[in-house]
Amino acid sequence: MVFVETKLDGLFILEAEKIEDERGFFARTFCRHEFEARGLNPQVAQCSTSYNKKKGTLRGMHYQVAPGEETKLVRCTMGAIFDVAVDLRRDSPTFRQWVAVELTADNRKMLYIPRGFAHGFQTLVDQAEVYYQISEFYDPKSARGLRWDDPALGIDWPSVESRTISARDLSYSDFAA
């Protein structure tokens, strides 16, 4: 696996190293030892899938606070998404900055999102599926969210004719610094 650093400390884009032959290819998508060697959290408490029918579906921006703070490893297994992570660590020099990466079934890239980050995505095509490995169990008491279009974050989402956003995600308030 190739770990590509981003401008946000601890946030990595992961690329599979393919071993190809006449049958196709084989690639590792997770290795506890490789994560530990880089000081990254390899714990997986649960895995989840998000299926999204329409292009322009936006989910986020979600995170969990202590004691349920979570690390995520996100991959698009069908279709394509614009995946975003926002640094919410108040002591970080990149506090409130964000990184976006296009994750697709074809490019097989993954995004490693450490504790202290909010996460969300927008589908770029109809029928997109996202697979998550999550370090902690979901805790409704720890669950939080940020408004997807909060001007304090300035996320530059791809334009679409229409967006599908849940009532819950639309109810989040602006980020309080």
Catalytic residue positions? 62, 132
Q: What are the structure tokens assigned to 144, written together?
A: 């939080």
Q: What are the structure tokens assigned to 37, written together?
A: 């060697």
Q: Computed over its alpha carbons, how large is the radius of gyration of the chain?
A: 16
Q: Across the strands, what pairs with 27?
A: none
Question: Are the C-beta atoms of residues 101 and 112 closer than 8 Å to each other?
Answer: no
Cis preceding-peptide flag for 61 (omega within 30 of 0): yes
DSSP helix/strand/coil, 10: coil
